[in-house]
Amino acid sequence: MAFLEIDGLRKRFGQIEILKGINLELEKGGFLVLVGPSGCGKSTLLNTIAGLETITSGEIRVDGRAINDLHPSKRDIAMVFQSYALYPNMTVAGNISFGMEMRGVPADERQKAIDKVAKVLQIGHLLKRKPSQLSGGQRQRVAMGRALVRDPKLFLFDEPLSNLDAKLRVDMRIEIKRLHATTGTTIVYVTHDQIEAMTLATKIAVMRDGEVQQFGTPAEIYNNPANVFVADFMGSPAMNLIPATIGDNGSGLAVMLDREARQPITLPMTNAPVGLAAFKGKPVIFGVRPEALTDPEGAERNASQIATADCHIEVVEPAGSDTFAVTNLGGKGVVARLRADANIQPGTSTPLAFNLTKAVFFDPATENRIR
């Protein structure tokens, strides 16, 4: 039995259904990231776990106990808010101990708990300050301290890094990951940033329009997206989704990619997914991540299926660690990720290696994966 279980959760505001039957579970000590574009219901889902929003139907269980009818303070949860929500009239120490004070913890125990948390988060020197005298990163730490001090069963984070600048965000991301590793707490984390989701999570739930599109480990989500939405949302730069046709080259199936004013590219498939046979002669969406579309020298050595084709390079973007090249296939700009020192010029034709082991196919009508 999982530690956190969400069962058929529905939430309705009037006639509008915000959450349309969510089923999720998370093991003890896991890190669940709810990710999706704004308005997908991820924050609402987190608020229902916290008890700040009521649910229409379904059940939320923590450690085997149904909590969906309990008051937020009775759920044994702690929450870090997007705006940090530090009480402006109290000192840092007052902020951290407010919850304990409300629960009637004696003063000396409160002090001990504050000291312990201050040590973990290195905010000992800030305890006497007011929130207005802290920097963004310090406020973030205090907000986490307020959650940590309660030692709850479940931590909830609502886009905690979205108010920080880019560099600090990376630092705090590592900090949160370290905190999770050392304390072994169970965390539910909401973000719209797919990099945060990939780096932090043990489980990711990709959401859209109040539905979970895919639920799995970061590797599953990244390598085996269930549909076009997940494939497009996760990964940066995004996966290339190229309109293609499935053909037959005599020995097996092949992917045909149209090109402007040139011969179509034909990529033979030796190990195609079973479902692909039904699409022979029909259009599909051919998905290939930029790192699976490289210069032949940079291609993965042990990939079983690599097909090389000459492509016309339109734009070259050197990014330092890599060089990105844009070509046009099937009427769309397609990004290839090459080695930093790849010798490539815009406006010329160059052979690109398609790593077909990593390629995925989607049905253009349903946008679902062809397996």
Partner 1 sequence: MSTVATPARLPSSGVNVKTVNRVVIYGLLALFALFYLMPLFVMLVTSFKTMDEIQNGNMLSLPKAPTFDPWLKAWGETCVGLTCAGIKGYFWNSIKMVVPAVIISTLLGALNGYVLTKWRFRGHTLVFGLMLFACFIPFQSVLLPMATILGSVGRFGASLRNSVGTSFGLGNSTVNLVFVHVVYGIGFTTLFFRNYYEAFPTELVRAAQVDGASFFQIFRRIMLPNSMPIFVVTVIYQFTNIWNDFLFASAYAGTGDSMPMTVALNNVVNTSTGVVEYNVNMAAAMIAALPTLLVYVLAGRYFVRGLMAGAVKG
For partner 1, the closer of residues 73 and 236 by Cβ is 73
CB 95, min distance to partner 1, A: 9
Nearest to 87 by CA among 105, 102, 108, 109: 102
- Show contacts with partner 1 in window 257-286 (CB under 8 A): none
Asked whether position 72 contacts partner 1 by CB under 8 A, the answer is yes
Q: Which of 21, 29, 58, 99 binds partner 1 (CB under 8 A)?
A: 99
Identify which of residues 156 and 201 has a Cβ nearer to partner 1 in the complex: 156
Cβ 371 vs Cβ 274: under 8 Å: yes
Q: Does 81 bind partner 1 (CB under 8 A)?
A: yes
* Contact positions with partner 1 (CB under 8 A) in 200-239: none
Q: Over 204-259, what HEC string results?
A: EEEEECCEEEEEECHHHHHHCCCEHHHHHHCCCCCCEEEEEEEEECCCCEEEEECC
14 binding partner 1? (CB under 8 A): no
Which of 23, 57, 73, 135 lies at the binding interface for partner 1 (CB under 8 A)?
A: 73
Least Cα distance to 326 among 339, 318, 335 occurs for 335
The reply to whether omega before 237 is within 30° of 0 (cis) is yes
Q: Which residue stretch of 21-29, 72-80, 284-292, 298-306 sits at the interface with partner 1 (rule: CB under 8 A)?
A: 72-80
User: Which residue, 245, 314, 247, is CA-closest to 286?
Assistant: 245
Nearest to 172 by CA among 123, 137, 204: 137
CB 358 within 8 Å of CB 271: no
Residue placing its CB nearer to partner 1 in the complex, 145 or 216: 145
Cα(338)–Cα(295) distance, integer angstroms: 6
* Residue 87 is a binding residue for partner 1 (CB under 8 A): yes
**C-beta of 53 vs 232, nearer to partner 1:** 53
User: Cβ of residue 146: shortest distance to partner 1, in angstroms?
Assistant: 8
From the list 89, 132, 302, 321, which residue makes contact with partner 1 (rule: CB under 8 A)? Answer: 89
For partner 1, the binding residue among 22, 26, 35, 50 (CB under 8 A) is 50
Q: Does 154 bind partner 1 (CB under 8 A)?
A: no
Q: How far is the CB of 362 from partner 1 (least distance, A)?
A: 39
Which position among 17, 29, 82, 209 is part of the footprint of partner 1 (CB under 8 A)? 82
13 interacts with partner 1 by CB under 8 A: no
Q: Angle between the 92-102 and 136-148 helix axes, to the nearest 10 degrees?
A: 20
Closer to partner 1 by CB, 78 or 288: give it: 78
Q: What are phi and psi of 307, to 5 degrees?
A: -120, 135
Tell whether residue 70 is a contact of partner 1 (CB under 8 A): no
Output 85 or 306, the one with its CB closest to partner 1: 85
Stretch touching partner 1 by CB under 8 A, among 44-52, 173-181, 189-197, 336-344: 44-52
What phi-psi label fits residue 101: left (phi over 0), alpha (psi between -120 and 50 degrees) or beta? Answer: alpha
* Site residue total, partner 1 (CB under 8 A): 21
DSSP secondary structure, 2-58, as one string: -SEEEEEEEEEETTEEEEEEEEEEE-TT-EEEEE-STTSSHHHHHHHHHTSS--SEE
**CB nearer partner 1, residue 99 or residue 264:** 99
Cβ count within 10 A of residue 218:
19
Which of 54, 56, 57, 83 is the binder for partner 1 (CB under 8 A)?
83
Query: What is the DSSP-derived secondary structure letter of residue 262?
Result: S
- As a whole number of angstroms, the longest Cα–Cα distance in the chain is 81
Residues of this chain that bind partner 1 (CB under 8 A): 50-52, 71-73, 77-79, 81-83, 85, 87-89, 98-99, 102-103, 146
